[in-house]
Chain A
Amino acid sequence: MVRSMLYVTAGAVAAWVGVDLLYNFLRLSDSYGRLFLF
């Protein structure tokens, strides 16, 4: 059980960071758009 929870924790940490990276990557489009307008 302890191992299962370690795997769930690893999955949760990876998913949390993955979501953060995906959000920031998509959001970067805004910065490039604003650079174009600058």
Chain B
Amino acid sequence: MADFIASVPGFWALLALSAVVMGAELAILGQSRAQLARQETARLLAPSGDWQACAALRPPSRLFELLAAMLPGIVLFSFVRVIQDARHLLATAKTPAVAVDDKAAMAAQAFSAELNTIPMASWAIGIVVVLGSLAASTAISARQRGRGLREAGRLGPGAPEAAKAWLEFPGPEMMPILGGIGSFLILGFLPLVRAGFYGVTDKIHAFAAVARLPVEEKGLSLDHALDEMARALDRSMVFARLGLVAATVIAAVLAWRFSAARARHRLLTPPGPRGTGGVVIALVVIASALVAFVAAEPLRAENELPWPAYEGGERLMALIATPDLEGPDEMERLPVVYLTPDAMGLDGREMAPADIAMQLDTTRQRFPSLKGQALIVCQADTGTDRLTEALRAAVSAGIPHATFVFLRRQVVDRPLLGHHWRNRARAARTTVVENRADVSSSTTTLLEVTRFSTCASLSRDIVAARNAKRDVALLLPPLF
């Protein structure tokens, strides 16, 4: 539980806000029920001629029903904000500005925040919405019945027959209103909330399972978990849409069947005075909904635009135009020596060959598991004289196994998440030698680095040999 509380950003503030709103909804419910009770007392006194009790009822106000309907929105927006912040943190973790070592911790924190906040939001918003619907239905009923009874009280002394109709049918009962609202909530929203809730639970299980998987299977497993959740949500949307049609029919039937105005009309009672407040609110609700629908277009576009298929392997976020080749080997996570016609360096920091050698030597001693390997990311038009310097530095540091990396840039422009890119990395393994005699195997192709002018031309022969399933040895020119 402590882990859960720690993972939801602003847990106590969200809990306190939800509790306050629940309290406010209960207060509105209590106030409206008390109003209904007072109205019922006045209604019972009227048949004995005491119309004054009805006429003296307090003029009804829309304030409580509006508050009851809008308060859940505050809780909703607070949770939406926290969930979106968590998602933005995930997007930030992906940016090259974040250090590689910090990415995993940041992403774990973001996933944890999102996955734990959604179930909490489902419960908190669910309870607040149920209480809000109950309070709003009761407040609407209390207002309309209060207005009807005041009309009965006004008509009573002069037109007792018309007053009796108002007394019998002063306004709608709470239950048909709650039935209408409830049918939209249960048939329209519940399938989605359920799919969202269980989708998150499944995702948490998938994450737990991913932790036990080997590195190369983690991404694919996560990709499948995302597919499952999206499919479950898409399925539930079909039910939700059908449910909304059914809910509209149910609400219309309830409104017609339990209409107090219709019942009074049957008793040939002339319609009473009616304000335009209800019509204005209904039109504002429709207009606001349409504005929200249009404003959510980028959200819909984001969800409708498919992502490129998942591809495993390491992501090397380098901006170097390597030779346009498809290496047959996988790229592993190793120290990266980069080369361009103007610069060279190690792991993103520009360095002279001597410094590269020193740094690689330290790395080799600290991480024996590297087994003398390093990556070479060489811009296509880099001269082999520069490459030779870098390779010699690696060899002098005890790292003779140079894996040439070929990057292919993939770009996406998302409607909501913006511009992102990744490098699809393929590789070709080589071993650097300083003496022709060091190569004895007949399955090895020896390539003299100085016979090629650029990284591009050398890489072409390296890849050709690797594609022919041959080992590749790169022969450096003699020092003197």
Contact with A along B215-253 (1 / 0, CB 8 A): 000010011001001100110010011001001100110
Q: Per-residue 0/1 for B191-222: is the Cβ within 8 Å of any A Cβ (1 yes, 0 no)?
A: 01101100110010000000000000001001
Decide if A33 touches B226 in the complex (CB within 8 Å). yes
Shortest distance from the beta carbon of B78 to any chain A beta carbon, whole Å: 14
Contact count A vs B, C-beta below 8 Å: 163
B189-A19 in contact (CB<8A): yes
How many of B's residues come within 8 Å of A, CB to CB? 70
Contact B285–A18 (Cβ < 8 Å): no
Residues of B within 8 A of A38 (CB): 94, 307-308, 412, 420, 422
CB proximity of B187 to chain A, nearest CB, Å: 9
Q: Which of A6, A16, A37 contacts B219 (CB 8 A)?
A: A37
For the complex, would chain B's binding face be called helix, strand, loop or mixed by DSSP majority? Answer: helix
Whether B107 lies near A36 (C-beta < 8 A) is: yes
> Residue B303 at the A interface, CB < 8 A?
yes
Q: Please provide the chain B residues from 284 to 313 with a CB less than 8 Å away from any CB of chain A in the complex.
A: 285-286, 288-290, 292-293, 296, 299-300, 302-303, 307-308, 310
When A and B form their complex, which 8 residue pairs have the shortest distance between CB atoms, in order from nearest? A10-B282, A4-B255, A17-B289, A15-B184, A34-B307, A12-B248, A26-B196, A10-B285
- 21 A-B residue pairs with Cβ-Cβ distance under 8 Å, sorted by A, are A1-B256, A1-B259, A3-B274, A4-B255, A4-B256, A5-B255, A11-B285, A12-B248, A13-B286, A14-B285, A16-B289, A17-B290, A21-B299, A27-B234, A29-B229, A31-B303, A31-B414, A33-B222, A34-B310, A35-B91, A35-B414
Q: Beyond the given A11-B248, A29-B199, could you list 6 further A-B residue pairs with CB under 8 A, ordered by the A residue number?
A: A4-B255, A10-B285, A24-B300, A28-B302, A28-B303, A29-B203
User: Which A residues are within 8 Å of any B CB, using their own CB?
Assistant: 1, 3-38
